[in-house]
Amino acid sequence: MTTIIWTWVAAFFTLAILSFLYKDNPLYKFAEHVYVGSSAAFTVLYVWVFDAYPKLVIGFKEKAGMQKYMLVIPLLLSLFIILRFIRPLSWLSRWSIAFTVGMAAGLGITGLTQGFLVPQVQASFLPLFVRGETVGQTVLLTMNNVIIVFGTIFTILYFYFSREHKGVLGVSSKVGVTILMLTFGASFGYTIMARISLLIGRIYFLLHNWLRLV
Amino acid sequence: MKKEVPLAITFISGLLLVLALFIPHKPFGNLEEIFNDWFIIVSGFTLLLGIDSLLGYNFHKIKRKDKDAPFALILILSFFITLAWGIIEILRTPEHNPFSPSSTFSLYFYNYIFIPLQSTMFAILSFFIASAAYRAFRAKEINSALLLVSAVLVMLGRVPLGQDAAPYVISVIFLIFAVYFYAESTGITETRTKLIYILVALIFVALIYPLGWVYFKKHIPEFADWLMNIPQMAGKRGIMIGIALGGIAMSIRIILGIERTYMK
Amino acid sequence: MVNFLKKLAGIDRRIIYLAVFLATAVPILTKAILKIEPLPEVRKAYEYIESLPEGSIVMVSIDYDAASMPELQPMLETFLHHSFRKNLKVIMLGHWALGLPLGQQALEEIAKKYNKKYGEDYVFLGYRPGVAAVIINLGKEFRNVFSGDYAYTPLDSLPLMRKVRNYKEIKLLYGLEAGAVGDSWIQYGYARYNLPIILGTTAVMTPDYYPYMQANQVISVIGGLRGAADYETLVGISGQASIGMLPQSVIHLVIIAFIIIGNVGFLVLRRAKK
């Protein structure tokens, strides 16, 4: 019985959001505000459950010696963030923000170079002639490698704005645009696919769980 | 003090991580681990930023008796009800965790209120994107035609019925192009250009059978694979390398204290 | 006739909405399941998981929430069936806190079907903020990130976790990605520690992961509802993704039809203006 009632609640909220398609209306606004309010509460809850409690409370309880004293630093930095809500001390929150920004920058540099640029550039060094088992295969494999190597280079060149796109740069950036159009088209096709899948999920809920037609 | 200390903190933390990548031994390796641990703790608290202004803004709306005041009240109520429900479950459940499957928070609130709200919010985008595709995909020139064709081929190549439908779709598209080019040619007086237009129209008609009914009828899934793995991949790689270079440059500026917008 | 064709360029959005709705709902009502030929990349992912010896430890990362549930939940469920059927040990964690219960509920439910025991056959760690920092530190020592599981039980009192110190013991990371966390798994987990990775991604994110696949930085990528349906087919389950293939096909055709109609209207209008 409880499941049935709760399924009706879920169906109500689903239909309330869908009603936006007709036009903006109080029912939609109601659902939207419930969503925003509860998401914010969610954040507070999981910061406590998965961060503050296990890392700080349990940390202070279980760690010993130097490790325990060192926890004071992140504790202070975390408290400083909350101090933002108190005007005269809000400047202290900049220390915490500065720390997270510095860390994010450091992590970004290392991840992007070691984990992205180097391996991606390496993977683009492909032979421009590949011998396959048949002539057709040779043509296809060679063409694929040529597209990968020059497609990548020309796309990068297209985004190079320090010189006017004339001459060689002009031609290469034209090829770059062609590759980009294929890329964006494919991405757009995938995006449509994704959004439709989400709708299928919701309509399936309405037809299966709520109305029990399927 | 108010400026120098944050700049120093950013510089030290950022530089340490870069150094630790090249010298992973003591002391940098250990310091990296400790700093990461602190980051894990502190970055959780940064998620709380904004909640104060969200609540403050809505309290203000209620006080001012704004026309949206009832909704502001609903937002605040749902914030506190959700929070209270969660706290009760933290105290009540043996796991002290409102997100665990045995808690009523997870069982009822999450499954029957939160999931429908969040997933429907994103599901309605499908209607907008369908309408946007109809409006935006217009073959205005060669590049937009390429964009359109690439999207259509991927959409056909990635679903099971696409293969059966491909010959018809290709036939219709090519016929439209053929009719369009023929219609254009009627208005042209110069013989050479006129002939070229007619020729293009004829080529489109001629391609319908071999491309649509022979090649795509059988191979559209493989063609979509190729499109994704070769040209699409190359373009994506180019874009992503550009973004990565930009990200690295930005990070260096932040560490060196040139970029300071985050301090405002 | 010409006037009618011109009108095709400006169909009211509500007609499109209605068509989209019907093209989704009607095929679902038919309950038909289409036969599909799995994509090569999904087959590769499946074969890698098949090749893992019994008892191997695999890790699942919940990096999505209810917004992408229809695409990624079937991928998660299929993976759990696949793993438990093969007697693999599963550790679950997540970087998207809002989606954690989706992961844990599926884990508990499917583990029960295979009579798996919590702590021995599977463990749910939970969430820690800080994505990249979490991934890097897990590679050094799990205990420094998670002193306990989601219920604060110390890791060393869970038999499965006693064997795990860092990524050396993890034979596969299966990340379910609705955003950029997958990049972090690759850029830190694989780049620094050679963590073998298979990603299940939403269709929006899928094209972004092709460069990583070509560079062999990931084993493979299962993309979108189609990828999920392929994986279900390979494992032999007819789940929600397989049911979704008919509506997905129909609606693609409807949208393509609208694009074509729009273009006919557009071209006629443009000619009329000349």
- Which pLDDT band holds residue C2 (cuts at 50, 70, 90)? confident
pLDDT reading at B170 higher than 90: yes
Residue listed under structure tokens 């219960």: C101
User: What local confidence, expressed as pLDDT, does residue C18 receive?
Assistant: 96
User: What local confidence, expressed as pLDDT, does residue B132 receive?
Assistant: 94
Beta-carbon neighbour count of residue B249 at 10 Å? Answer: 12
Contact status of C256 with chain B (Cβ, < 8 Å): yes
User: What local confidence, expressed as pLDDT, does residue A54 receive?
Assistant: 97
Contact status of C34 with chain B (Cβ, < 8 Å): yes
Q: What is the mean pLDDT of residues B81-100?
A: 96
Instruction: Name the β-bridge partners of C62.
Output: C94, C176
* Secondary structure (3-state) at C95: coil
Q: What is the mean pLDDT of residues A123-150?
A: 95
Contact B122, C204 (CB under 8 A): no
Q: What is the C-alpha separation between B101 and B108, in angstroms, rounded?
A: 10
Element spanning C71, H or E? helix C69-85
Q: What is the ipTM for the molecules in this complex?
A: 0.94
Proportion of chain C above pLDDT 90, given as a percent: 93
Cα of B139 to nearest chain C Cα, Å: 7
Q: What is the mean pLDDT of residues A152-180?
A: 88
- Which pLDDT band holds residue C6 (cuts at 50, 70, 90)? confident
- pLDDT (tens digit per residue) in A4-31: 999 999 999 999 999 999 999 999 999 9
For residue B40, give the nearest of C128, C226, C262 by CB distance. Answer: C128
Proportion of chain B above pLDDT 70, given as a percent: 100
Which string of b and e fits C220-258 if b means at least 16 CB within 10 Å?
bbbbbbbbbbbbbbbbebebbbbbbbbbbbbbbbbbbbb
Question: Starting from the edge strand earliest in sequence, which strands make up the sheet with C197-201, in order?
Answer: C122-127, C89-94, C57-63, C170-177, C197-201, C220-223
pLDDT reading at B44 higher than 80: yes
Which chains have 3 or more CB–CB distances shorter than 8 Å to chain A?
Answer: B, C
Cβ-in-10-Å burial (0-12, 13-18, 19+) of A128 comes to: exposed
Nearest to C78 by CA among C219, C241, C245: C241
* Secondary structure (3-state) at C81: helix
- pLDDT (tens digit per residue) in C8-58: 888 999 999 999 999 999 999 999 999 999 999 999 999 999 999 999 999
Q: What is the C-alpha separation between C11 and B170, in angstroms, rounded?
A: 23
User: What's the whole-number average pLDDT of chain A?
Assistant: 94
User: What local confidence, expressed as pLDDT, does residue A47 receive?
Assistant: 96
Contact status of B53 with chain A (Cβ, < 8 Å): no
Give the global pTM: 0.95
Residue A36 tokens, joined: 């925003």
Q: What is the mean pLDDT of residues A64-75?
A: 93
pLDDT reading at A166 higher than 90: no
Contact status of A182 with chain B (Cβ, < 8 Å): yes
Which residues are CB-neighbours of A105 under 8 A, at least 6 positions away?
A: B10, B14, B250, B251, B252, B254, B255
Which string of b and e fits B226-246 if b means at least 16 CB within 10 Å?
bbbbbbbbbbbbbbbbeebee
Residue C139 tokens, joined: 């590679």
For residue A115, give the nearest of C14, C97, C188 by CB distance. Answer: C188
Q: What is the mean pLDDT of residues A49-77?
A: 95
A121 → chain C, closest CA residue: C215
Q: Tell me the CA distances in angstroms from B102 to B93, B209, C77, C108, C146, one per residue in order.
A: 8, 61, 19, 10, 21
User: What local confidence, expressed as pLDDT, does residue A173 receive?
Assistant: 86
- pLDDT (tens digit per residue) in C166-200: 999 999 999 999 999 999 999 999 999 999 999 99
Cα of A132 to nearest chain B Cα, Å: 17
Q: Transcribe A187-204 into DSSP letters.
A: HHHHHHHHHHHHHHHHHH
Would you kindly state where each structural domain of chain C is located, as residue ranges? 2-31+247-273, 40-237
Contact status of B63 with chain C (Cβ, < 8 Å): no
- With a CB-CB cutoff of 8 Å, which residues 104-163 of chain B face chain C? 106, 110-111, 114-115, 118-119, 121-122, 126-127, 130-131, 133-135, 137-140, 148, 152, 155-156, 158-162
Nearest to A82 by CA among A57, A52, A102, A105: A52
Cα of C2 to nearest chain A Cα, Å: 30
Query: Considering the domain C40-237 in this protein, what is its CATH number?
Result: 3.40.50.10160
Q: What is the mean pLDDT of residues B162-179?
A: 94
Are the beta carbons of B172 and C13 separated by less than 8 Å? no
User: What local confidence, expressed as pLDDT, does residue C5 receive?
Assistant: 85
Q: What is the C-alpha separation between B223 and A20, in angstroms, rounded?
A: 38
Contact status of C187 with chain A (Cβ, < 8 Å): yes
pLDDT reading at C77 higher than 90: yes
Q: What secondary structure letter does DSSP report for A143?
A: H
Contact B75, A33 (CB under 8 A): yes
User: What local confidence, expressed as pLDDT, does residue A81 receive?
Assistant: 92
User: What local confidence, expressed as pLDDT, does residue B25 receive?
Assistant: 84
Q: Transcribe A117-134 into DSSP letters.
A: IHHHHHHH---S----SS
- pLDDT (tens digit per residue) in B207-260: 999 999 999 999 999 999 999 999 999 999 999 999 999 999 999 999 999 988
Contact status of A47 with chain C (Cβ, < 8 Å): yes
The whole-angstrom distance between residue C74's C-alpha and the CA centroid of its chain comes to 8
User: B66-70, B103-107, C228-232, C267-271: which range is least confident on average?
Assistant: C267-271
Q: What is the mean pLDDT of residues B133-158?
A: 93
pLDDT reading at A160 higher than 90: no
User: What local confidence, expressed as pLDDT, does residue B46 receive?
Assistant: 93
Q: What is the mean pLDDT of residues B53-74?
A: 94
* Secondary structure (3-state) at C132: helix
- pLDDT (tens digit per residue) in B181-215: 998 888 888 999 999 999 999 999 999 999 999 99
Q: Transcribe chain B into DSSP letters.
A: -TTHHHHHHHHHHHHHHHHHHH--STTHHHHHHHHHHHHHHHHHHHTTTTHHHHHHHHHHHHHTT-TTHHHHHHHHHHHHHHHHHHHHHHHHSTT--TTSTTSHIIIIIIIIIIHHHHHHHHHTHHHHHHHHHHHH----SHHHHHHHHHHHHHHHHTSTTHHHHHHHHHHHHHHHHHHHHHHHHHT--SHHHHHHHHHHHHHHHHHIIIIIIIIIHHHHHHHHHHHIIIIIHHHHHHHHHHHHHHHHHHHHHHHTTS--GGG-
